Structure 1
Amino acid sequence: MTLRFFPGPVFRRRPGREYCSRRRAEYQDGLRRSALCATFYVQFSAGAGSFPPVASRPAARFQGGTRDMLRRIGIAACIASTCAVMPPRPAAAGELVLLSRSLVQGPARAAVFGAGGLILGTGGGVAVFSGADRLEEPAFLPLDGEPHDLVLRGDILYAASFAGGLVTIDLSDPGRPVETNRREIAQAARCASAGGALFVCGANRALHVFSLENPREPHLRGSRELPHQVVSIPAEDDLLAIVYGRRVEILRADASGSLEPAASIELPADARDAVVRRGVLVVLTAAGEAFAWDIARPESPRPLGALKRRKISGVASGEGGCVLLGASRTIIPFDVERDGAGAARIRVGKAASLPPRVSPAPGTAGTGGSGASRAIERVIVSSGRIAAIAPLDGVDLYARDRAGLHSLDFFPTRGFAIDVATAGGLVYLANGNDGVRIGRLGDAGTVEWLSHLQTKDARGVAISGERLFVADGAGGLKTADVGDPARPRILGVHASPYYLSALVVRGGRAYCAGGLGGAEIVDVSDPRRPRLVWRRAFSEVRGIDADERYLYVADGYEGLRLFALDGPEPRLVSTLDTPGWTCGVAVDGDRAYLADGGRGVVVADLSSPERPRVAGASPTGSVARQVRFDGGYLFVAAFTRGALAFDVSDPALPREAARYQTAGDARGVSIAEDRVLVASGGGGLYVLSHSR
């Protein structure tokens, strides 16, 4: 996993890498200290045996990866900041209420076909689709971490969430999935059901055994340490196969979770994946070969030899038989047949290539780009359907019949919602590698997605009339015509040596934040020919704003810099040192509202531009990443704490008035009258209403 505290590339200036490493270390250390403070405070105030869940979770919970550790530390830091620094506050005057959520996305690692359609582990949760032929408007249940494996028994789904343990989900109403139980398992990565029991592989080569007398609340029967790291645990009926690197252990299971060893198989090469179909174990090796054994009599496995195929990268089994995923996106069907004496034989069908992705209908959001899919890592098979998963691209759904394979639909998971802008009832979402998504905001808060504009790495968006401006990471600045929002088109490109991550457009000029590079001003009065006006290196520019008089640069740990715009080039007027990492700024009149990283939000008095001062501040409990001011309220994208609304009518005492917890890290926020739109990474786009 790649951890990036400060979104952007690794960096262009020579001292940048050293600088970034130092800042990351300082920031991580600060969060760890906050977590320790939070734990101490909660233990001191609650007393032994009554700690709140966040602070009392065992250390094993933090083994789920650095990202999850920081998510939890951020929550703990919130407790420390709120309890230890701020006095008790009155009840919130406003409220943030969810109206809609869309574009749930994130690397897809697990999937299974249910009775109503595909169930997909993505975006830090589970997406449940209704309909056999479409991948639209899934019901989404957020989990604590990405699901790595899924097991479906009737209308109960078991999810092995790498950071969230074993999660039990009731799908009796597929439109409203409900979490019924959660068991703490460090690094839950594999799960399987055999003999009426459930088996989960976690950290330290541990196998956890659950009985399912009450399917909605699995009961832990015990755990045991396995001799090697587990590659796969395919199961069928009462047979469980534990696949290690070069060895397979075959066991019989019963409903109590008891396991009786039956036999072991030595493999000719390192295993990559495995399935069991009608008593036959098929093991895919890392060398791209598939080998089979008849384990119907598990005490005496019988080798069936190698399937005569090479360069195999995936294997799957389902109601409709089995498939191998071959080179060049080929699907090779196979199945197991038994004769009258019970002898097994594998019948391999004719290979077929996955057809090109279905073209989007007019007026819908397209997939963009050339249409070429990224690498498919696994396939899921059911009766008449195949789902092909490319974790960093999306999921393709295909129909399978005698005539071959037919593309049905595509669900993108490559996007990562970073920034959002609204104007004229339209929504413009900077969606990372997926480019920009454009939609129409309805009266009820729903979003009808109209189109898609593929760019390199959309990090920030700004709208001016019928022109869209995109801070496109390493792709520079893009200008686009959105006069017809259903058919956007690129007009011009400005190449930059910086990694552009945010921008504002004022008076025919784009003011661009360039991360560890610096900042730029680009003349976009002719959007077909954007022209550089000014460029300057800074410490770390993540946020920027401008008005008729001044340019405001959020310069990381150097604070807020004010530049006068009264000459041919911006002129430095003053610098305001803030206590944290200044990464966002929004200016209204003679006040600047700052996202100050882990220190929360800061209100600055700019009535004397030569001597700006901090008028007030408030912790947010997590990293304040972006701020927007509207109607006496400051709206904050606060990473792990979601979306916050602060009453700043008294600038000396900003007061948290409302909060909504998003599933993904809240990174960008925009205001459209009483609607608050939040870009939430893999969690997609949230539309909230705010009562004032």
Structure 2
Amino acid sequence: MNRRKLYPAISIVILAGLITLVLFGGDNWLGRLFGTAGLDDIKRDRLEQSARPMFDRQNVELVGHIGGTAHAIAVQGNYAYTGIGSELAVLDMSDPMNPNRVGYVVLPGQVMDVKFADSLVYAASDLGGLRVVDVSNPASPYPVGYLSALACAESIFLSGGYAYVGCNNGPLQIVDISNPASPMLVGSWKGSAGGIAVFENTAYVTGKDGALAVLDVTNPASPAQVGSLSIGSPASSIVVQAGKGSSGRYAYIASDSGLRIVDVTDPASLSIVGSFDTPGWASGVTLKDDLAYLACSQNVSTGGSGGLWIVDVKDPAAPVEVSHIGNTMLYSQVAVEGNSAYLVEPAHGIQVMDISNPAAIQEAGIYKTFPDPNVITLSGDNASTPFAVIGDRSRSLAVVDLADAANPRLVGSRDLLYVPQDLKLSGNFVYIASNDGAGGPGGWYLIDVSDPSNPAEAGFNPSSVVHSGVALAGGFAYFTGEYNQNQGAFNIVDISNPSSPNDVGALEFSGFGETIEIQANYAYVADGHGLQVIDIITPTAPVAVQSIDTDGYARSAAVSGDYAFVANWSKGLQIIDISDPAELHMVSSYNPSRYVSDVAISGKYAYLLEVAVTSESGQRTSWLEVMDISDPSAPAVVGYYLGFPYARDIAVANDTIYVAAGGLYVLRLGTSAISGSVVQANGSPVPGVSISAGPEMQTTTDDLGNFRFDGIPLGGYELTPALTGYTFYPPALSSATISPYNQYQIFTMLPPTDTAVLSPDAAANLDLAGLQGQNLNVEFPAGAATFTGTISLEPTIVSDGAGFAFAGHAFNLAVLAN
């Protein structure tokens, strides 16, 4: 049949009908169409509502955190406020033998120093500047203010309503904190300021340049140097106090050579009056009564001991050792409260010493950390208590209880001889690929974690291979790495009897052997140059099947179904079709303008770790991006999280994301909601309309015409309304992604199309009932047509050319020849 146009006279009748509908139509229909209704339902992310967001993120929420390098401590009463990795952690020290974390808050970057005053902690963050945290409830610390626009932030001192913030490379910055919610920079001084003390209107600063500088800060906006003195070696900590009686003022300085005591009574005439040398580097100092407590770091050049030294400084000119406890630790700070000294050890955590008898120091408890996690593996769904096993660059292993994702707990640890580069868990055993961390070989470990609190070495197999990756499948362990420069190594070990592993196969290939994944009878290796596919159907004789160059540096690969996802460093994410392992081809790519270092796949999502380098400082920060890969040819970003220190590994289980980044971050991919309503063209609600958002996602509009889908995964959806005999505008809504806000959509239900037979000798009539509450009648007199056909009147919102429109309303009018 052919479609024919009606005569213009008929069109005029229709136009008149349309005008009548607009004049007598219903309420704010256009407003409803364009979404002015339903905005109260939109729920915004609580961090994005905050006036002081700490992290840039969308659809990914921080759930929990633990670990990182220990940097700082301040003690008040029974609580220690510590900077460990990115968190300000509150430790209950009421039992010095068993320090316990009771609260924490995660801040940007690394928390380098902390000071306590009036239920507030002021934290110096290397990426976040000055952060102010309310700790009035130790179990629930929360940020109240910040000043990020600082040149650096490594050390901090509080005095007279000001925070003095500095770092070893300078400068010293003076911040007005009279309003903690809104700190303001008021002055600065260019000079090394790793150690800071302020006494009355004078600031004393030391640093890696080995000098003591004295500044007049009577006017904080314009500090003026009034004195200086060479200490002779880098100095990182300083305490200033008045002498006994009227005997002046002294500075007690921890330097690489030991304790130096300086008479600072006259800033113009400074002099060292007393000294006490330590075998290691003195990194921190504090005073109590007439005793100086020195935190010392082992001198790695000479082997000089680290530890805690207690020195009698009653006579500043003649300091005398009271006692010490030596070890190989690298203590960096010390605080004293009551009968305990608290020492910060970057790789181990917070060590508590009993100093009730200063002449006989005794070790008490320790709050342990893992400073620099490199790789993560998860216990899986069968474990009675979920846990993560973490390989740390400090040559150690950590076991973290994940039963409470918001409060992960370190429950076990073990030192290793080599640096773990990859690890996988099978049953009670962890298989670890390791090397020396400097390009040299190591071997692979077998660790028994049947008792998570006490991981035990069950075997170590030295190797000439620089191991980088490990995968487990079918009773075999598959290791990859390199023999030498650009000579990849692939080894297969029979682990059917974990206590007696047996090497069964090996293969060399061109590349580096970074990571490995097993699917069916093939191993997929990210080899630096690209993706390498190895046939492993015969474990004793693995065969290289195919490879593809990704034109970048392939650091990691993940496999799912017919596709491999390659983290290709500066060239982003590459998606490769592996449906035929012998014929690989590129499907698509995504380049975020950052360096993609790792990728993990779970369900319909790819999780990317990305590295951004700050050109000014060379500092590395990391992103997490989440991509919908349900269509591998068109991956779409659905969420991201920015705020990590340098991230090294990622693992995903049940929509929970675990990131190794200066500690363990626990994150969760958010869900979203779609809601809306169905109305008639006059705005009246339409109940009982079926709404579909995909398979197993159906609902029906309620009495008010509303519908809602809650808790749906992020991604793209097509909404389709249906009610027998009716059409809708729009007929379907296609959405590329779900935004961080609730999506709201309004459908307008139109009356059914009316049809009639029109012939040259007979009149015809069309009726549309209920459109904007009006009845529309269109009459066709005899002789209106020159041929016999079927005429149809179809209500729509936008004309497609067959009808006329007014204020957004139109009808498609057509005659089809019989």
TM-score (norm 1): 0.72
One-letter amino acid of the structure 2 residue matched with residue 667 of structure 1: R
**1:465 aligned residue (418, 427, 434):** 427
Select the structure that is richer in strand.
Answer: 2
1:176 Cα deviation after fit: 1.9
Change in Cα spacing, 1:554 to 1:404, as seen in structure 2 (3 Å) is closer
1:667 corresponds to which of 619, 635, 648:
648
Q: Secondary structure at the match of 1:578?
A: strand
Matching of residue 560 in structure 1 with residue 517 in structure 2: no
The counterpart of 1:530, out of the listed 489, 492, 501, is 501
Q: How far did residue 554 of structure 1 move? A: 1.0
Match of 2:273 among 305, 323, 338: 305
Cα 1:348–1:224 shift into 2, 3 Å:
same
Partner of 2:135: 171
Deviation at 1:503, TM superposition (A): 1.2
Q: Distance in 2 between matches of 1:383 and 1:258?
A: 38
Separation of aligned partners in 2, 1:665 and 1:514: 23
Per-residue CA deviations over 1:343-402 (Å, capped at 9, x if unaligned) read: x88775621426xxxxxxxxxxxxxxxxx7533344333333212223233321223213
- Is 1:236 equivalent to 2:204 in the alignment? no
Q: Which residue matches 1:578?
A: 550
Structure 2 residue 82 is matched with structure 1 residue 110: no
TM-aligned CA deviation for residue 504 of structure 1: 0.7
User: How much has 1:194 moved relative to structure 2?
Assistant: 4.1
AA partner of residue 470 (structure 1): I
CA distance in 1, matches of 2:594, 2:388: 26
Work out which of the residue numbers 294, 311, 317 in structure 2 matches 1:324: 294
Matched to 1:652, the amino acid is: S
Cα distance in 2 between the residues matched to 1:448 and 1:183: 30
Letter matched to residue 280 of structure 1: Y
Offset of residue 120 of structure 1: 2.5
Contact 1:669-1:676 within 8 A present in 2 as well: no
Amino-acid identity (%): 20
* 2:478 is equivalent to residue 511 of structure 1: yes
Other-structure match for 2:310: 333
Segments of structure 2 that go 5 or more residues without pairing to the other structure are 1-54, 243-248, 297-303, 437-441, 612-620, 672-712, 714-818
Residues 248 and 624 of structure 1, relative CA distance in 2, 3 Å threshold:
closer
- Of 329-338 and 501-510, deviating more is 329-338
Structure 1 counterpart of 2:199, one-letter code? E
Change (3 A) 1:283 1:490: closer
C-alpha contact (below 8 Å) 1:394/1:410 kept by paired residues: yes
Q: 1:408 to 1:305 in 2, by over 3 A?
A: same
Match of 2:668 in 1: 688
Q: Where does residue 31 of structure 1 map in the other structure?
A: none
Q: Is the 8 A contact 1:292 1:306 kept in 2?
A: yes
Superposition pairs for residues 92-491 of structure 1, below 5 Å? 95-102=59-66, 104-106=67-69, 108-115=70-77, 117-132=79-94, 133=96, 134-137=98-101, 139-174=103-138, 175-178=140-143, 180-201=145-166, 205-226=170-191, 229-230=192-193, 232-243=195-206, 245=209, 248-254=212-218, 256-257=220-221, 259=223, 264=227, 266-267=229-230, 269-270=232-233, 272-273=235-236, 274-278=238-242, 279-293=249-263, 295=264, 297-298=265-266, 305-307=273-275, 310-311=278-279, 313-314=281-282, 315-318=284-287, 322-325=292-295, 328-329=305-306, 331-334=308-311, 348=320, 350-353=322-325, 373-402=328-357, 404-423=361-380, 424-425=382-383, 426-432=386-392, 433-442=394-403, 447-455=408-416, 456-474=418-436, 475-491=442-458
- 2:622 touches 2:644 (CA, 8 Å); kept in 1? no
Deviation at 1:330, TM superposition (A): 5.2
Report whether the alignment pairs 1:651 with 2:632: yes
Pair 1:419–1:616, CA change in 2 (3 A): same
Q: Deviations over 1:491-519 (max 9, x none)?
A: 22222223322211112221223166523
Distance 1:627 1:444 in 2: 22
Which sections of structure 1, spanning at least 5 residues, go unmatched? 1-71, 79-91, 339-343, 355-371
Q: What is the number of residues matched between the two proteins? A: 571
Q: CA deviation at 1:537?
A: 4.4
CA distance in 1, matches of 2:280, 2:535: 62
Deviation string, structure 1 residues 616-649 (Cα, Å, up to 9, x no partner): 3333554333333333333334455544432222
Q: Is the 8 A contact 1:643 1:678 kept in 2?
A: no
RMSD across aligned positions (CA): 3.6
> For 1:289-334, what per-residue CA distance to the aligned partner results, in whole angstroms no more than 9, with x for missing partners?
53342x4x54686868324555473251256653134664554435
Contact 1:170-1:177 within 8 A present in 2 as well: yes
Alignment CA distance shift 1:179-1:476 (3 Å) = farther
* Mapped partners of 2:521, 2:548: distance in 1: 17
Aligned 8 A contact 1:196 1:212 in 2 = yes
CA contact (8 A) 1:195 1:254 kept: no
CA positional deviation for 1:447: 4.0
Distance 2:454 2:234 in 1: 47
Q: TM-score, normalised by structure 2?
A: 0.62
The question of whether the paired residues in 1 share the 8 Å contact of 2:187 and 2:222 is answered with no
- SS state of the match for residue 235, structure 1? strand
Q: Spell out the pairing of 1:64-79 with structure 2 (5 A cutoff).
A: none
The aligned counterpart of 1:369 is none
- Alpha-carbon deviations, 1:253-285, whole Å to 9, x = none? 3475565766x3645634524321333212345
The residue matched to 2:466 in structure 1 has which SS? coil
1:542 matches 2:518: no
Partner residue, 1:13: none
Which structure's CA Rg is the greater one?
Answer: 2
Report the structure, 1 or 2, having the larger helix content. 1
CA apart distance, 1:534 = 0.4
Q: 1:142 to 1:628 in 2, by over 3 A?
A: same
SS at match of 1:598: coil
